[in-house]
Amino acid sequence: MPLLAGAVDVDAVMASLSSARRVFHSEADFQHAFAWVLHEVEPSLNIRLEVRQDKREYVDLFCFGPKGRTAVEFKYFTARWDGTDSATEKFHLRGHAATDLARRNFVFDIARLERFCASGRATNGFAIMVSNDRRLWEPIVSRRVARDQEFRIDEGRALKDVLRWGTEGSYFDANQRELAGSYSVAWRDFSELNGPAGDFHQLILPVEQRAQGVTRQD
């Protein structure tokens, strides 16, 4: 797997992170914790959060050094969970109902990172999701064609080519995305906590520079 800023193994960062923080209060908490661990692993890297790209876009994390520049987008989608990660710190995670939007927005992150890499702003990127909602990684058994059918990120899926949002008679052009690369979905364990929905998984998809760019879609 490609490295963060050409210097750090992203799997090593996530392993250290899961040891230090098995659960997060929010997506912003996840971003900050990742940046903290990355700095501990490689203090020489420059690490920035919420870096503005243009009038409407920001990248969640940007890290750079003499060997490369990496953009990272994070998603933290949770099912309801209440518990503690230590003797004193309590967590009350709310349940996010819209799994279709979680899938769509994760694919949007991949397409955004492809554009950043194609433009030369980054030498590579990572789309990272942590979730305790098994509806994201378990295959959906249904005869009904859902509007997020082509955006599914359950285990074993391949995200590639043109992904269209919607069903027949309900097509939303603004939500279509064309991916330059092919991305194999492989979820892995992140942490295991007590109680219902205490099983957290992670999905990491690397994005690399390619010879041909992709068309921007906003």
Q: DSSP assignment of the chain, as one string?
A: -PEETTTEEHHHHHHHHHHH-S--SSHHHHHHHHHHHHHHH-TTSEEEEEEE-SSS-EEEEEEEETTEEEEEEEEEE---EEEESSSS-EEEEPPP--HHHHHHHHHHHHHHHHHHHHHTS-SEEEEEEEE--TTTTSPP--SS--TTGGG---TT-EEEEEE--EETTEE-GGG-EEEEEEEE---EEEEE-SSTT-EEEEEEEEEE--SS------
| Predicted confidence (pLDDT) per residue in 146-157, tens digit | 889 999 999 999
Residues in the chain: 218
Over 50: is that where the pLDDT of 209 sits?
Answer: yes
pLDDT at 216: 40
Both structure tokens of 112: 């955004």
Residues near 37 by beta carbon (within 8 Å), at least 6 away in sequence: 13, 16, 17, 20
pLDDT at 152: 95
Place of tokens 């963060």: 4
Over 80: is that where the pLDDT of 4 sits?
Answer: yes
| Predicted confidence (pLDDT) per residue in 46-83, tens digit | 999 999 987 788 999 999 999 999 999 999 999 999 99
Over 70: is that where the pLDDT of 218 sits?
Answer: no
pLDDT at 168: 59
pLDDT at 171: 58
Over 90: is that where the pLDDT of 200 sits?
Answer: yes
Over 50: is that where the pLDDT of 212 sits?
Answer: no
Q: Which amino acid is at 37?
A: V
Over 90: is that where the pLDDT of 197 sits?
Answer: yes
Residues 75, 185: Cα–Cα separation, whole Å: 15
| Predicted confidence (pLDDT) per residue in 117-132, tens digit | 999 999 999 999 999 9
pLDDT, mean over the chain: 91
Over 60: is that where the pLDDT of 112 sits?
Answer: yes
| Predicted confidence (pLDDT) per residue in 5-22, tens digit | 999 999 999 999 999 999
Any idea which of 85-89, 125-129, 191-195, 202-206 has the lowest mean pLDDT? Answer: 85-89
